[in-house]
Amino acid sequence: MDLPNNQVELWSKHVKCNQNGTKCNSIELHLRSVNESVNNLVDSLRVTGSDFNSVEAKSAAGGFPESITESLSALANLPGGGVIILGLDEEAGFTPVDLVNVTGMKAALGQKVRNFTPPVRLDIDDGEVDGKPVIVARVQECDAAHKPCRAPDGKAYVRSWDGDYAASELEEQAFLMQRTHARADSIPVPTDTADELDPELIALWREGVDGDDPSGLGRF
């Protein structure tokens, strides 16, 4: 099951607001948004009784969970990425546990993702569920040009329902076939408009394209 985008997205834009006549700064908005979103996720997890394709909960009661390695790789390879919540016991109905050294655990997580190939892009936030702290990590999807994202042991993992599995040879081949090369000329320049283009150069370019492909079928 994939969650709606408004539930998976945990981070709001850092803007200021005026709510009930009280000015809220961006940090307050950010924390409020994270807590509201993570509790929506937890409500959905409790109703379903299991993790989702894009959401993985881990207890971490005994310290930093080593099983997070497979989840980081699998979610980075998943279209749209996903979310990992540390501090929830799935077997106990996704109830929060007492985390030891939250700061140290976040630091370990931030360091661990640097050992992946390519490094996993991660946003880490503090959340709260039933009055107890949890760690919310938003795993960004790996760029298609660099998939599959491999764990430090060299293996690539994929997500299947609520589990992480080593990618098969066929799955790895599929990732490699879908690789694209980043092209700087395909990135729009936000400050420029069509008026900046040279009409003479455009005419020459179109003449060349039309000469190479008069029927226009090459674009399909």
Sequence letter at residue 109:
L
Q: Residue 135: helix, strand or coil by DSSP? A: strand
Please list, in sequence order, all residues whose beta carbon lies within 8 angstroms of the beta carbon of residue 23, skipping any fewer than 6 positions away. Answer: 16, 17
What pLDDT, on the 0 to 100 scale, is given for residue 7? 44
pLDDT exceeds cutoff 90 at 4: no
Token pair 């959905």 is found at: 44
Peptide bond into 148 cis (omega under 30): yes
What pLDDT, on the 0 to 100 scale, is given for residue 14? 31
Q: Which residue has the higher pLDDT, 6 or 130?
A: 130
pLDDT, tens digit (0-9, with 9 covering 90-100), for 182-216 = 566 667 777 788 888 888 888 888 888 777 666 65
Domain locations in the chain as residue ranges: 5-177
Per 3-state DSSP, what percentage of the chain is helix, strand, and coil (rounded to 5)? 40, 20, 40
Q: Which residue has the higher pLDDT, 157 or 51?
A: 157
Which residue from 108, 138, 112 is spatially nearest to 124, judged by alpha carbons?
138
Q: How far apart are CA 165 and CA 160, in angstroms?
A: 7
What pLDDT, on the 0 to 100 scale, is given for residue 202? 87
Residue 62 pLDDT grade (very low, low, confident, very high; cuts 50, 70, 90): confident
Question: What is the pairing mode between strands 95-96 and 122-129?
Answer: unpaired
Least confident of 9-18, 24-33, 110-119, 204-213: 9-18
The arithmetic mean of pLDDT across residues 43-49, rounded, is: 91
5-177: CATH number: 3.30.950.30
Q: Which residue has the higher pLDDT, 32 or 13?
A: 32
Q: Is the dihedral of CA 183, 189, 193, 197 positive or negative?
A: negative
What pLDDT, on the 0 to 100 scale, is given for residue 193? 82
Q: How far apart are CA 119 and CA 137, in angstroms?
A: 15
What pLDDT, on the 0 to 100 scale, is given for residue 31? 54
What pTM does this model have? 0.70
What pLDDT, on the 0 to 100 scale, is given for residue 28? 53
**Between the CA of residue 43 and those of 10, 47, 67, 80, 89, what are the distances in Å?**
14, 6, 23, 21, 14
